[in-house]
Amino acid sequence: MGRFLSHGGRLQLIKSVIASLTNFWIQAFRLPSSCLKEIERFCSAFLWSGPELKTSKAKVSWKDVCLPKQEGGVGAQAAKRSKRGSWFKTTLEDSLCAQLALGSMGALLSDQEGITLLLKLRELAKQFFKREVKNEKETSFWFDVWSPLGCLKDMLGERGYIAMGMSENAVMADVLGNHRRRRHMLNLLNEIENEIALLQADSIQEEDTPFWKQKEGKYASVFSSKKTWLQIRSTQQICEWSKGIWFTQSTPKYSFLVWVALRQRLQTYDRIQQWNGVVDATCVLCKVTNETCHHLCFSCDYSKQIWKALVGGILQRAFTTSWNELIEIISSARMSPTEQFLIRYALQATVHALWKERNARRHGEQPQPATTWKRV
């Protein structure tokens, strides 16, 4: 089946496979990283070569393919990302492990005999969880973030148990009910005593509330795996042209080809000549100038005729054959929504048609004159 799918169709199939893999990972068992890496290798090979699964045909690295569209990728979800996102969902949102442990998320995250994957990422998870202390029965004094000071175990280490006179398993209810204020030589310990005193003076008989970090300085009582992932990942520079490529009602195979062109990965003759110097780089459409991506779209006399016939009436004085100027036009909001859609779709459809014609001539098929395309 993959042999007859376009790149856009293959991309949609890959997204479905990885989404199914995520659900399988959550419901059945956790796949090892080596297995996920192999799955991603096959996905990359399938995207670029179909059932042949030739890894050498990849034009863009899988890491870049998996970037969000607004950052220059195509939005394919990496299997490793799914694994980490699923971990946050299953262990933090559902809190199943927390219920089976000490009733405290903070204590769970410190448990040396916990689930292996949980232990690997516990330091990362601490950054996204805190509790609002109310009835104090579910909050760990040492491991939960119950004050602006942060996690006391991280701040004081093993010596903190002795300095504060509290056991490792102490919960806030025990501390607020039995602890008597002490004076310490260390200022940090006195600050902790102040926070305890504030809670003792304002005890509320309600359940302790867990909060999940949504973004810097903002927490909510509802966990979001998407917002958590966005805080974990390393963001890339925003690509303004993404809005002009991935738009509503676009044709995936057209959008994908233009995306490859914008990534400067189309196998035009100027690129082929870099590793094979004997190749004739003359454009097969106009047979005048060396072929480059910018020449093909739309400086070539052949492609210029087609482009003028299609959008000359819409662009009027703004008509141009400059690739960079056209990308700027489709990425901005200068025109009405209808005109903008027509220009965007015409650009993608024309690039696809030109690339198809170029490849057909390269393989010896009968050339189609520009007037034929203008009538279509």
Looking at the predicted structure, is the pLDDT value of residue 358 above 90?
Answer: yes
pLDDT the model gives residue 228: 75
| Residue ending a domain, choose from 191, 219, 237 | 237
CB 299 within 8 A of CB 320: no
| Residue ending a domain, choose from 52, 77, 102 | 77
Q: Are residues 63 and 117 in the same domain?
A: no
Q: Are residues 85 and 229 in the same domain?
A: yes
Instruction: Output the CA torsion sign for 239, 245, 249, 252.
Output: negative
How many C-beta atoms lie closer than 10 Å to residue 137's C-beta?
14
Q: Are residues 94 and 205 in the same domain?
A: yes
Q: Are residues 73 and 110 in the same domain?
A: no
Q: Is 204 left (phi over 0), alpha (psi -120 to 50) or beta?
A: beta
- Count of structural domains, the chain: 3
Q: Find residue 211's DSSP bridge partners.
A: 130
CB 255 within 8 A of CB 347: no
131: containing domain: 81-237
Q: Are residues 101 and 210 in the same domain?
A: yes
Q: If pLDDT is split at 50, 70 and 90, which confidence band does 137 have?
A: low
Q: Are residues 6 and 73 in the same domain?
A: yes
- Specify the DSSP class assigned to residue 297: I
Q: If pLDDT is split at 50, 70 and 90, which confidence band does 122 have?
A: low
Q: Are residues 89 and 229 in the same domain?
A: yes
Q: Are residues 179 and 275 in the same domain?
A: no
How many C-beta atoms lie closer than 10 Å to residue 90's C-beta?
20
- Specify the DSSP class assigned to residue 298: I
Looking at the predicted structure, is the pLDDT value of residue 298 above 70?
Answer: yes
Q: Are residues 181 and 262 in the same domain?
A: no
Task: Count Cβ atoms within 10 A of the Cβ of residue 201 and give its class: 0-12 exposed, 13-18 middle, 19 or more buried.
Answer: exposed
Q: Are residues 120 and 213 in the same domain?
A: yes
Q: Are residues 127 and 40 in the same domain?
A: no
Joined tokens for residue 257: 């080809």
The tens digit of pLDDT for each residue in 148-194 reads: 888 888 888 877 888 888 888 888 777 777 788 888 888 888 888 88
Q: If pLDDT is split at 50, 70 and 90, which confidence band does 283 have?
A: very high
pLDDT the model gives residue 342: 94
Q: Are residues 341 and 289 in the same domain?
A: yes
The tens digit of pLDDT for each residue in 65-121 reads: 888 899 998 887 665 554 444 444 444 433 333 333 333 444 444 444 444 555 566
| Residue ending a domain, choose from 217, 237, 257 | 237
Angle at 243 between CA 241 and CA 248, to 5 degrees: 145
Looking at the predicted structure, is the pLDDT value of residue 295 above 90?
Answer: yes
